[in-house]
Amino acid sequence: MLDFEDDLNEIRDRIEQLGREALEDPDSDVARELAVLRLELEARTADVYSSLTPWQRVQVARHTQRPHTLDYIERLFPDFVELHGSMNSVFENPFPSESIPSLVETEAPPSRGASCRLP
């Protein structure tokens, strides 16, 4: 975690602890305290990230847990298969990964009376 997120981490830890307590004793008043802490976390998060210094923004952008391109692709295209070629193809195609994703999962509705189907 980043140093400016210390306060946020304390709140997250407290929420996690209260969540465990709520599972152990569902009849307690922990739910109300959890709701208050979640609202506080949301407000503090907005406050912290709205006043970042330029260096802190760089730290956020370079964070190791930040999603990469393939993370987004895997969520957009669940049946994504990355294709790898020979070393010669690296010089022919500068893109790091090649694939044929499928956006269409169901049949598209016919347009203006035409009876077309997508594969």
**Other C-beta atoms within 10 Å of 38: how many?**
14
**Are 53 and 99 in a shared domain?**
no
Q: Say if residue 12's pLDDT is above 70.
A: yes
How far apart are alpha carbons 79 and 111 in whole angstroms?
A: 27
How far apart are alpha carbons 37 and 43 in whole angstroms?
A: 10
Residue 13 corresponds to which tokens in the numbers above? 């830890």
**Are 9 and 57 in a shared domain?**
yes
pLDDT at residue 13 in the model = 94
Mean pLDDT over the full length of the chain: 78
Residue 115 — pLDDT band, cuts 50, 70, 90?
A: very low
**Are 7 and 56 in a shared domain?**
yes
Q: Into how many domains does the chain fold?
A: 2
pLDDT at residue 82 in the model = 75
Give ∠ CA 30-33-37 in degrees, rounded to 5: 135
What percent of the chain is predicted at pLDDT more than 90? 33
Tens-place pLDDT, residues 18-59 = 888 878 776 778 888 888 999 999 999 999 999 999 999 999
Residue in 2, 5, 11 with CA at minimum distance from that of residue 41: 11
Which segment, 3-7, 46-50, 83-87, is predicted with the most confidence on average?
Answer: 46-50
**Are 7 and 57 in a shared domain?**
yes
Q: Which of 61, 81, 96 is the last residue of a domain?
A: 61
**Are 49 and 76 in a shared domain?**
no
- In terms of residue numbers, what domain contains 49? 3-61
In a domain, 93, yes or no: yes
